[in-house]
Amino acid sequence: MSNALPSVHVISGLPRSGSTVLAALLRQNPYVKTAAHNTPVAPMLIRMMSLMSEGEYQPAFAQAQWQNIMRGVLQTYLDPEAKNPFLIDINRDWSAHAGLLTTLYPQAKIICCVRDPVWILNSFEHLITRDPLLGSKLVPMAHRATQHDRIDYLASREGAFGYAWRLLNEVFFGPYAHHVIVVEYDRLVASPSGVMNHLERLLGLPPFSYNFQHIAPPDTTTFDAALNTPGLHSVHPRVEPTQKRLILPPHVVERMAHQTFWREPGLNTGGAVVIA
């Protein structure tokens, strides 16, 4: 592995909000190595933190040593041949561990893909009900019976949306907000060229001509099958606005509406960059 640190950034944020599309676009750039979907890198480093910071082994890890070990895990997992100067990992847990990320890579950016919560939950409901047996492991069996049960669970602190929502709030309003780049789904699909050019400047990427008319889908069959949710990470062949019919009851829509806090400049006191 090269002694020079690569430029490392991460994709985090909310589910069903364009992270797979964004990663697919970034993978077109020959200078960038981007994960296809959530990797285990962040969870691995988080587990290593307890071993290095407490207990009988804590004295064995000097400051520089533990940083080098963690960098080695990340860089070896993402780019084992050390060929790429830009590495981008994907995991929502990075939003809760921005301090660790920016200690390892001080220039790192946390790209938070976001979307109106109403349309996120609507997308989940379309995805889950596509299977007549309702077998998706995104929602435990005890919470799959009705749409209200599914929505309540998805929005809970353990649910796919609720958990990510808490992490997004933490990083956006927290002390590392100046490392955050918010990319709203609607802006990405409506103006992909403008969004990618803006990201290139923010991440320091060399300019590249992205093909928005042909998106190479990632091979996520095994990953999606493990969650019993085929198509979870499927992407459209072209980057363009598409929107499924709203199938949530009005009172659910009202409960989840008006929560796009990133659009409010007065709330962005930490200096996050918002592309919306």
Question: What pLDDT is recorded for position 230?
Answer: 84
Distance from chain centroid for Cα 128: 20
Question: What pLDDT is recorded for position 53?
Answer: 86
Question: What pLDDT is recorded for position 73?
Answer: 97
- What span, in angstroms and rounded, lies between the C-alpha atoms of 193 and 74? 29
Contacts of 252 (CB under 8 A, 6+ apart): 121, 148, 151
For residue 268, count other CB atoms closer than 10 A to its CB: 18
What are the strands, taking DSSP E only, across 29-179?
Answer: 32-34, 86-90, 110-114
Q: pLDDT digit string (tens) for 5-46?
A: 899 999 999 999 999 999 999 999 999 999 988 999 999 999
Distance from chain centroid for Cα 260: 17
Residue stretches of the chain with pLDDT short of 50: 1-2
- What are the structural domains, with CATH classification, of the chain? 7-274 (3.40.50.300)
Q: What is the number of alpha carbons within 13 Å of residue 161 lying toward its C-beta? A: 23
Question: What's the whole-model pTM score?
Answer: 0.94
Q: pLDDT digit string (tens) for 147-162?
A: 999 999 999 999 999 9
Question: What pLDDT is recorded for position 200?
Answer: 97
Distances in whole angstroms, Cα of residue 74 to Cα of each of 36, 48, 78, 220, 274: 15, 12, 6, 20, 27
What are the strands, taking DSSP E only, across 4-150?
Answer: 7-13, 32-34, 86-90, 110-114
